[in-house]
Amino acid sequence: MASIARKNLLEDIPRFLVAQAGIMFAVSLVTIQTGILKGFTRSTVQLIENSPADIWVASQEMLHLELTKPLLLEYALLAKQVEGVDRAEPLMRGIAQWNVPGAELTPVKVFGFDPEGQLFLPGKVNPSSLPAIKEPYTAIVDASNLDSLHVLGVGDRAEIGSLPVRLVGLTKETQSIVSSPFVFTSLKTANSYINAGVTSKLNCKLLPEDDIKCVTVYEQEETSETSEISPPKPLNLTDQIVYVLIRAKPGRIYRHSRGG
């Protein structure tokens, strides 16, 4: 065996070089694929990794971060009443269309959070940008998405659906490589963007044994091209969110939890 190996290494140089090239290609391919996998995995959980929340409460039918059934805003208020909960904040998410005149429409994911909250951080963002999104129809986007959103930077304007949007800040390390561009704004503004042209009402009926069943019904509004832009409507308990972010009180550890 040693003689065969010696012959392959020293006497048949072309064959040796071909074998070495094949090995190098295989190693390089595995390294590249591993890097892509790690980058994909890391990018899809960046929002969770950036959050100091101890628990993310979601629907039992959640499949992954961007695919889950909605919850009601009321759940965030109920979570605050649970023993051991120090703080609970709602997180809203929805799909919308980003439009810049003269450019192609871009689908975006709109995230709504409390700018004065503590449990959701939209990546590496200038702290002065967070109070700015309390102003209606303002937003923060990831700097890596400027080209795809057809804007240059802070101060630029566009539309989300039929509503205006003004960039007031840029962030980094938030964007998933497999998702539409993320747009971060306040809860009220996000609710307006996600439900632009839609009204909701609560229908309740009395069931046997004095039980009450309530269903939120969404209807399309009739809009006029000449209508003025109204400020975002106040939130109500039936508005839809996707997660409740929870921070436990010091010394409290939740070993078992169930989704809502």
* Three-state secondary-structure class, residue 245: strand
Task: Verify that 39 and 58 share a domain, yes or no.
Answer: no
Domain hosting 170: range is: 53-248
The verdict on 97 and 32 lying in the same domain is no
Q: For residue 111, what are its two tokens?
A: 């995230």
Domain count, the chain: 2
Which residues, 6 or more positions from 72, have their beta carbon under 8 angstroms from its beta carbon? 216, 237, 238, 239, 240, 241
Residue 139, pLDDT score: 96
Q: How far apart are CA 105 and CA 98, in angstroms?
A: 6
Residues 113, 28: one domain?
A: no
Query: Does the pLDDT of residue 225 top 60, yes or no?
Result: no
Residue ranges in the chain assigned as alpha helix (H): 2-6, 13-44, 46-50, 74-79, 129-132, 146-149, 187-194
| Mean per-residue pLDDT, 188-216 | 70
Contact indicator for 162, 223 with CB cutoff of 8 Å: yes
pLDDT, one tens digit per residue, over 112-129 is 999 999 999 998 898 888
Q: Which residue has the tokens 């929340």?
A: 53
Are residue 89 and residue 111 in the same domain, yes or no? yes
Same domain, 144 and 236: yes
pTM for this structure? 0.75
* 215 shares its domain with 241: yes
Same domain, 25 and 69: no
Tens-digit pLDDT profile for residues 68-83: 899 999 999 999 999 8
Same domain, 37 and 69: no
Which residues are within 8 A (CB) of 14 and not within 5 positions of it... i.e. 6 or more apart?
none
Give the pLDDT confidence of 18-63 residue by residue, as tens digits: 777 888 888 888 888 877 667 666 666 788 888 999 999 999 888 8
Domain membership of residue 256 (yes or no) is no
E strands, the chain, in order: 55-57, 71-72, 85-99, 106-113, 138-142, 157-160, 163-171, 182-186, 198-207, 211-220, 240-241, 243-248
Phi, psi of 133 (to 5 degrees): -80, 0
Query: Quick check: is 154 in a domain?
Result: yes
DSSP character at residue 81: T
In this structure, the answer to whether residues 25 and 76 fall within a common structural domain is no
Give the number of other Cβ atoms within 10 Å of residue 47's Cβ.
Answer: 25
**Is pLDDT above 70 for 102?**
yes
